Structures are given as structure tokens and as C-alpha cells.
Amino acid sequence: MSLIDLLTGNTSNQVAEQAENKFGISRNQVIALLAVAAPLIISYLRNKSQDSQEAEALNNALDKDHDGSILDDASQVESRQAEGGSILDHIFGGQKNTVENQLSQNTGISIDKIGPILAMLAPVIMGYIGKEKQQNNVGAGGLGDLLGGILGNASNQAQAQQSNPLNDILGSVLGGGQQQSSGNPLNDILGSVLGGSGQQQQGGGLGNILGSILGGK
């Protein structure tokens, strides 16, 4: 299953419905947030996996807690929200507040809700990675390539199918992140696409794309 399949499939819709009911925001906003958060989290994990100890820790976590069952049972997301918060703390570390502020500004989701919603999404993203790991029979040493392949395939698919606003988001996020990599996923994805000069380069960036999704709701 590609990353775009995850974003457009039943799992994301079910998770978005739960977030809508719990936090009072639109499903489209949640799915748009997932479209940016998923490649961001995967990029951070890819960078971390270059360190052999981090790769081993990620491999063990995926084997133990993220077998992909959450993709078939989205009712797990609320009960695993605290776990999701811990995942985000580890992945983003000291940059977590910066990430949340940028995502809040660019999705229109208030800062008091962005963290809890991301915590609902994190186990879904980890479950997706875990399922891909199982299907490709990858160990700790191959995680970097697996994560890079997920991003590369999603980028190619998004660029080829830009009639869908979600594909536009992924195409912008992944295109911006991969073409001029600074080695820092936060700068590559949030910096180049969501803010600053990157918005000019992308013709308005995420703001315009989100407008096209949310404007007709």
C-alpha cells in the first residue's frame, strides 16, 4: 500500500471522523494534516535510522507495537493517543513545539488541538511503516532504504496524479523536501513548503492547496 493509498483510504477517513467528533474540526483538515505529518514523521525516522542504535530501537518498536493492525481497526486510535504523544516526543524531540506551531498555522487547526490530533495520527503512521516493514521483510539495517522508498514512491505517484488536492499537498511536500535536502526534515518540508520563501516558490504552498480542499466544505 502506498502512502497515498493510506491517505485516501478507509483508515484515514475513519481516523478523521473520530478526530472530527472529538475535537470539532473538519475531516478534511485532519486528512490534510495527515498528508503533511506522515512524510514529515517518515523523514525524521529515516534520518534517525542512519544511526545504527536508533535503527535497532525503531526496528524493535515496529516489531513489538506496530504490526499494522491499527490500519484495519481504527478504533484503536483514541486508546493509543498517549502512546502517540510519546512517539512524537521521541521523533521530534526539542523541535516538537516548532513543528506543532508551523502545522497549526498552515492547517488552521488551533495550537491546543494540533498536538492531541497528531498524537492520534502517529500510531497510524507507525502502523503503516510496520506493515510495510513486514511485507518487505526488512530488518534494522534496511529501514533507511525502506523509508526513503516510501517517500520516493509517494512523490512519484503524487506528481503523476495532481488532479487531487491531496496529491498536490504530497507533491509539494515531497518535491520540496527531496529536491533541496538540507539534512533536516523540518527545514526541508516545513521550511521549504509551508513557510517563508518556499511559499513563493510553490505558488502559495500549502495555504492555497488547503483552501481548495476546505473552501468547498
- The whole-angstrom separation of Cα 35 and Cα 130 is 18
Mean of pLDDT values over 65-79? 92
Mean of pLDDT values over 207-217? 50
Residue 140: pLDDT band (50, 70, 90) is very high
Q: Greater confidence, 174 or 130?
A: 130
Is the distance from CB of 179 to CB of 189 less than 8 angstroms? no
- The whole-angstrom separation of Cα 172 and Cα 174 is 6
Q: Greater confidence, 75 or 59?
A: 59
> Quick one: which of 31, 40, 44 has its CA closest to 93?
44
Report whether pLDDT(120) > 90: yes
Cell (9 digits) for 66: 506496530
Q: Tell me how far the alpha carbon of residue 74 is from its chain's centroid.
A: 16
Is the distance from CB of 212 to CB of 62 less than 8 angstroms? no
- The whole-angstrom separation of Cα 153 and Cα 2 is 7
Is the distance from CB of 36 to CB of 114 less than 8 angstroms? no
Cell (9 digits) for 212: 481548495
Q: What is the pLDDT of residue 45?
A: 93
Mean of pLDDT values over 115-138? 96
Residue 134: pLDDT band (50, 70, 90) is very high
Is the distance from CB of 99 to CB of 190 less than 8 angstroms? yes
Q: What confidence tens digit (pLDDT) does each residue in 158-211 have?
A: 777 766 777 777 776 776 444 445 566 666 655 444 443 333 333 344 555 555
- The whole-angstrom separation of Cα 175 and Cα 203 is 14
Mean of pLDDT values over 39-68? 94
Is the distance from CB of 213 to CB of 112 less than 8 angstroms? no
- The average confidence (pLDDT) of the chain is 82
Q: What is the pLDDT of residue 93?
A: 92
For the chain, report the end-to-end CA distance as a whole number of angstroms: 28
Residue 119: pLDDT band (50, 70, 90) is very high
Residue 52: pLDDT band (50, 70, 90) is very high
Q: What is the pLDDT of residue 175?
A: 65
Is the distance from CB of 176 to CB of 193 less than 8 angstroms? yes
Q: What is the pLDDT of residue 155?
A: 80
Q: Greater confidence, 206 or 1?
A: 1
Q: Greater confidence, 190 or 41?
A: 41
Tell me the pTM. 0.83
Residue 138: pLDDT band (50, 70, 90) is very high
Question: CB-hemisphere CA count at 13 Å for 23?
Answer: 24
Report, in angstroms and rounded to the nearest whole number, the Rg of the chain calculated over CA atoms: 16
- The whole-angstrom separation of Cα 169 and Cα 190 is 12
